Amino acid sequence: MDYLKEYQRWCADEAFDEETKNELNAIKDNEKEIEDRFYKELEFGTAGLRGVIGAGTNRMNIYTVGKATQGLANYIIKKQGEDRGVVIAYDSRHMSPEFSKEAALILNANGIKTYLFDELRPVPELSFAVRQLHCIAGIMITASHNPPKYNGYKVYWEDGAQIVPPVDKGIIEEVNKITDYSIIKKISQEEAESKQLFNMVGKEIDEQYMETLEKLVLNPEVIKKEKDLKIVYTPLHGTGNKPVRTILKRLGFENVYVVKEQELPDGDFPTVDYPNPEDPKAFRLALELAKKKDADIVLATDPDADRLGVYAKDSKTGEYKSFTGNMSGLLIAEYELSQKQERNIIPKDGVLIKTIVSSNLADSIAKNYNIKLIEVLTGFKYIGEQMKIFEETGSGTYLFGFEESYGCLIGTHARDKDGIAAVMALCEAAAYYKNKGLTLWDQMINIYEKYGYFKEDLLSLTLEGADGAKQIKEMMEKLRNNVPNRIGNYAVKKFRDYKVGKIIDMYTKEEKATELPISNVLYFDLENDSWVCVRPSGTEPKIKFYVGVKGSNMQDAESKVKELKEDIQKIIK
């Protein structure tokens, strides 16, 4: 793309409004900034759009959102889904209301009915609404936990999950066909309303969502006994505040303390470097409040409330201990499954689903409860895809799904991570274990004692620009073409290359299919329940090395995981 020519076109073309032209004219002497905004199109990929907000082809703005929406509209028309409609939600980021309304009206201009939420809502409620309203698709305007300058656009299909093949490829093809912004169809809100195409939704969906979550509670009587459980919660300036407070109040929890400084939606996220519950720094204010209130549990959701971060008290030391996504997810899994086993309601075809970079502790839990474990590629949409397969075939009953990046789902009401349901389940579990004299941290140690001390970690290398992309490619090819027999202290038992769809037994050299979609991911099964998985990030200029070990105790596991990370650094130098 000739970035200067494209810049000049945006400055002159009548297709672009005066506000956009003024923003671009203000950078006329900054060629580097012009290049960054116009050297490429903001790519509509399998996760939709995500980028920095601003004018330009490589930015999130009403025109790039419009192009994505017109492409989606063309695909929906091909599938004859106009009358089923599209539900649209948005989070607290800058331009989220504007982008969501723009998307609704473009769909309306194409004769497609829309249901736009009346104010910000979390991802899981959008996923729920797609199914509840029997829509053909859903759009979520969010950049998840990215820094404030970002926003994004995620597309969901009729099952309530983010788009997967072949739907994603079909939509991408339609989006890429649009090379002229002037062909994006327009309609006024008044005209769209008069044609009954533009519809607002809100409280009725909220109530249906809350009622559905309440039905997932297994021990309401224990909550009544432990209603004074002290819960500190922060929505990190995002969408979680109202739904989390509502569900906890409805269940009967009386001591819920919300971090005041982070309670209200704010696209600047002024109290955190970036609003990610995986980052310990995001918990600073919540932990200060927890110490004042002597809280039992400390929780944080990200801006679109699909991820949940957790701290709980160690009864031996009184310290608040952080949970990884693997730990909190599997603590919920163990609680849910143990309670269902007590009631004898675990179905014979029950399934627990995890992603390939998630903890092997899941395998042991599934084995203990005599249920099937399914591994899928990284991304919760692949968990949602399995749920759809269960529905269509009548074989397999979904019991729980999670990924290491702080996301899980109890129930089948949604097809994406549900941070609201996770808050509910963890608070219920905290009440249950408190009734037995245990904190959630105490219970986590009990789980390790029962199954073994599984420990995971992540090594990320940031390599920016064209040179960085080349380095990442070379690293992947080097590992792919020169499979090590050992990684540190561990022999490599099996090697999985998801790009070619093969698993190779390193001892017998026998090969078999991975039976998963093609993806640029390498996985090394090691001795002693250890493993390494390598993949380039889909959203950042990073290559990620996931590692997992099993130790005899917590200290042993931590030592082993540290050593394995060091061994990887030696290999990739």
- Mind telling me the catalytic residues? 144
Report the half-sphere exposure of 256 (CA within 13 A, side-chain side): 25
CB 357 within 8 A of CB 404: yes
Cα angle 49, 54, 58; round to 5: 50
Closest CA to 299 of 248, 254, 227, 264: 248
User: Which residues fall within 8 angstroms of residue 282, CB to CB, at 6 or more apart?
Assistant: 234, 236, 272, 273, 274, 275, 276, 300, 309
In the chain, the amino acid numbered 346 is I
Q: Cα separation of 366 and 350, whole Å?
A: 9
Q: Which of 308, 117, 116 is nearest to 206 (CA)?
A: 117
Q: Which residues touch 204 (CB under 8 Å, ≥6 apart)?
A: none
Contact indicator for 340, 334 with CB cutoff of 8 Å: no
Amino acid at 398: Y
Euclidean distance between CA atoms 335 and 346, whole angstroms: 13
Chain centre to alpha carbon of residue 142: 11
List the one residue out of 429, 438, 382, 435 whose CA is nearest residue 407.
Answer: 382
d(CA 47, CA 164): 9
